[in-house]
Amino acid sequence: MRKEYLILLLFMSISCFSQNKQILYNFSTVPQSLLTNPGTDFKYKYYFGVSLLSGVSLNVGSTGFSAYDLFANNGVDFNIKLREAVASTTRKDKVTLNEQIELFNGGFKVGDWQNHGYVSFGMYQEFDFISYVPKDLAILALEGNSNYLGKRFDLGDLKLKAEMLSVLHFGYHKDIKENLIVGARAKIYSSIFNATSSNNSGYIYTIPSTTTAYEQVIYSNLQLNTSGVSGYFDENSDVDAARDIKKKTFLGGNLGLGFDLGFTYYPKKNIQITASILDVGFIRHSKEVETFTFKGLYKYEGINPSFNDSDAPSNIYQEFNDAIPLDTIYSKYTTWRPAKLNASYQYAFDDSRAGADCNCIGDDADYKNAVGAQLFVMTAPRAPIMALTGYYRRNVLSNLQMKATYTIDSYSYTNIGLGLSTNLGKFNMYVMADNLLEYRDISKANSLSFQFGLNFVFKDDNEPY
């Protein structure tokens, strides 16, 4: 029985991806910025993060409705609010959750300041979830089909991919020229659990019949692939969840490979262009694999049938199960990580060297202020997820940097964010938050994100900055 509940939950829930980190991107005083662009202009001699606290981030968001629309204490019946929320959405609307925790992280410079590279490494755990609104099926569940005779309810709305994984990574970047830095990062993915379903199709429609009350047709071509969860829903299983997750986190799960690429280029000493592509990779699922299918065609003529009552007249319940059975097969499958593209242009001004005689190019720390724009694009099942950010950076003090952002995306047109990074001796601390205007009443927010981290950083006394 628990397996049936899991399958129903996953088919009604849906898909998953990592999110935009526009405040962290190119915020080069923060070591974790290397994870958003392996070619970041990064200056520390070496650093290491505080285990489990060096990089913590949480991002939640929804389009089409907010928590307030459903749970406001305004005297409106919940069922009415739910119907209104569904009516206001489209099949492209989504609910998202992304969480990331660094287990360990570090990096060090190799070579001298005139000709050097940088090695970085670490491991983080990540959970991604995104649920597209299956509007047709939500209407059918809430209102039934009596007012929608002849409407074709589309089962293809169901597309999903949800995953918890760990990522072990090794990066290297190199100053190719005085004004050009390129970097790459290799990744080993270890999937803790996965649920994915794509290319679903099917329909449900009901029309008046010429011989009986109704003619109803259900055509289903649904498939759900899962890995890493079968043991939890076996009634005879004695799996220790904590031990199992720990084992899979440290490369004991379903494995995959991926890479990141990025660069930073200074066409002029105060103009910076960056770009990165992240998570080009795949995971091969071969352990604890179960695939569930609902495939078949059922045609019924008569009064409204009941498909969940084994005592229904003419045993309609059994006929339905025979026509569209739940089958379980065990076969390997491959999933691709959602690739993410970042690009930015930045103009820096207010030279902090006050006219000092230096021909240095590509030193972002030379300027107190900078303004720029960043584009973010991520692959998704229905349409790419995109965001455009304008930002302002300022070196407030020699050991305090600030970045303010304004982002336009599918969640909000009023997304203002702020990030602060400070060095207290060898100790680096950063905190970043998004959608600050919504903190007045977070129940009305369509998206919120928060990041913080603690690192130890060490500068090179010979560096010219």
Dmax over CA atoms of the chain, in Å, equals: 94
- pLDDT of the residue at 421: 95
CA-to-CA dists, residue 29 to 53, 98, 336, 339, angstroms: 17, 24, 32, 25
DSSP3 helix / strand / coil % (the chain, rounded to 5): 15, 50, 30
CATH architecture of 2-458: Beta Barrel (2.40)
Tokens read off for 103 = 């287990």
- pLDDT of the residue at 161: 79
CA–chain centroid gap for 271, Å, is 31
Pairing relation of β-strands 180-197 and 94-112? Answer: unpaired
Contact 227, 244 (CB under 8 A): no
What is the amino acid identity at position 285?
A: H
- pLDDT of the residue at 44: 87
- pLDDT of the residue at 92: 74
Q: Which phi and psi (to 5°) does residue 212 adopt?
A: -130, -170
- pTM of the prediction? 0.84
Which residues is 424 bridged to in the sheet?
Answer: 427
Contact 275, 377 (CB under 8 A): no
For the chain (465 residues), the mean pLDDT of every run of 10, in chain order, is 42 49 92 94 90 87 68 74 76 78 93 78 90 78 79 83 92 91 97 87 83 81 89 72 88 95 94 96 94 89 60 67 88 91 94 52 70 92 86 91 92 88 93 85 73 90 51
H runs (alpha helix) in 248-366: 316-323
CB-side exposure of 95: number of CA atoms within 13 Å?
Answer: 12
- pLDDT of the residue at 11: 41
- Domain coordinates in residue numbering, the chain: 2-458
CA distance between the termini of the chain: 64
> CB atoms < 10 A from the CB of 435, how many?
21
State which H helix or E strand residue 193 sits in: strand 180-197
- pLDDT of the residue at 119: 94
